[in-house]
Amino acid sequence: MSRDPRIAPHAGDAGGDAPRDPRSQLLTAYVDGVTELSPDERRGVEAWLADDPAARRESDAVHAVLDQLRALPPNAGEVAEPDWAAMERSIRQAVATEPIRPWWRRWQWLVPAMTCATAAAVLLVIWPRPAPVMAPPHRHVPEPVATEPTTTEPTTTEPTTTDGVVALWLDGSEVDVDLAATEPLGDAGFEIGGAPRDDAADDGDDGDEVGLLPATDLVWVDRLDDAALDRAERWLAGPENAGGSTGRRNPGGAASPAGPTGRASPSRKKS
């Protein structure tokens, strides 16, 4: 045999380390009970025992120790075993009031229910929704002005005239234009004149209003000197005209009184 049987590992527990000779461990397990070995291990130990007399001696020694151990009473000294029937009764009485199922088992169904509910809530939150379909912008059609003498169709968007005031639909808002203020311009005032329109200089918001005033009649603007233009600019920027241009930009269509009507009013023209 290749190992010294007196070399015993006395240094504490064999915590998972393989023995120095795995065959010895297998031999001990073999002697203790062959069913604890796999068929291959059993065949290996039996072959070892058949070939090596020292292995047979070791097997006999292990047999002797195990026989002594199994002959030993499990407990030291005189042990008086209890009355097993009495112990059984006392255990039965002790657990008589105990419920078989722990309390949480009665609510065990809550676990899958809560899981499903949580999953559904998460899905609702993260589910990709289609982009909301935007309703087409509502185009406000101005109510026809009830005037007896005019025969304007109720649904028309043509300018309607009432008592010298023409209702125009400009830039999404209804604008009342005092015809008296535009009378001097005549019919030509509603046409873009021969003067070339300077789109680059235009601020872009007033383009719809160009038709209100004839370009040919704006030459007086060109004759204004710089001081007059500065005064006009200051006046337009003044607090009384602060809402003039913004009112027309209101998408709701509610133009301020100082809006386009004001621009077309005689007082504006005077300034």
Partner 1 sequence: MTVADPDHELAERFRDGERGAFDLLVRRHQKGMWRLIRRYVKSDADAADVTQLAFMRAFRGLAGFRGTATVRSWLYRIAINCALSWLRDHRREQPTEIAEDALTDDNPAPAQLSARDDRARLRAAIALLPPKQKLVLELRVFDDLSFKEVSDLADCSENTAKVNFHYAVKRLRDILGADHEP
CA–CA dist 175, 260 (Å, integer): 7
- Smallest gap from Cβ 27 to partner 1, in A, equals 8
CB atoms within 10 A of CB 235: 12
| Cβ-based nearer residue to partner 1, 5 or 164 | 5
| Cβ-based nearer residue to partner 1, 37 or 258 | 37
Binder among 50, 100, 125, 201 for partner 1 (CB under 8 A): 100
- Smallest gap from Cβ 122 to partner 1, in A, equals 29
Which residues, numbered 11-70, are part of the site for partner 1 (CB under 8 A)? 11-19, 24-25, 28-29, 32, 36, 57, 60-62, 64-66, 68-70
Binder among 3, 47, 90, 164 for partner 1 (CB under 8 A): 90
| Cβ-based nearer residue to partner 1, 32 or 52 | 32
Asked if 158 is part of the footprint of partner 1 (rule: CB under 8 A), the reply reads no
| Cβ-based nearer residue to partner 1, 80 or 123 | 80
| Cβ-based nearer residue to partner 1, 21 or 174 | 21
Query: DSSP per residue over the chain, as a string?
Result: --S-TT----SS---SPPPSSHHHHHHHHHHH-GGGS-HHHHHHHHHHHHH-HHHHHHHHHHHHHHHHHHHS-SSSS------HHHHHHHHHHHTTTS-SS-HHHHTTTHHHHHHHHHHHHHHHHHSPPPPPPPPPPPPPPPPPP--SS----TT--S-EEETTEEEEEETTEEEEEEHHHHGGG-GGGGS--SSPP-TTTS-SSSGGGGGGS-GGGGHHHHH--HHHHHHHHHHHHSGGGTTHHHHHH-TT----TTSHHHHHSHHHHH-
CA–CA dist 117, 123 (Å, integer): 10
- Smallest gap from Cβ 78 to partner 1, in A, equals 9
| Cβ-based nearer residue to partner 1, 61 or 229 | 61
| Cβ-based nearer residue to partner 1, 5 or 266 | 5
Size of interface with partner 1, in residues (CB under 8 A): 52
Question: Candidates 3-11, 144-152, 157-165, 227-235 — which segment interacts with partner 1 by CB under 8 A?
Answer: 3-11
- Smallest gap from Cβ 95 to partner 1, in A, equals 4
Residues that bind partner 1 (CB under 8 A): 5-6, 8-19, 24-25, 28-29, 32, 36, 57, 60-62, 64-66, 68-70, 72-76, 79-82, 84, 87-88, 90-92, 94-95, 98, 100-102, 105
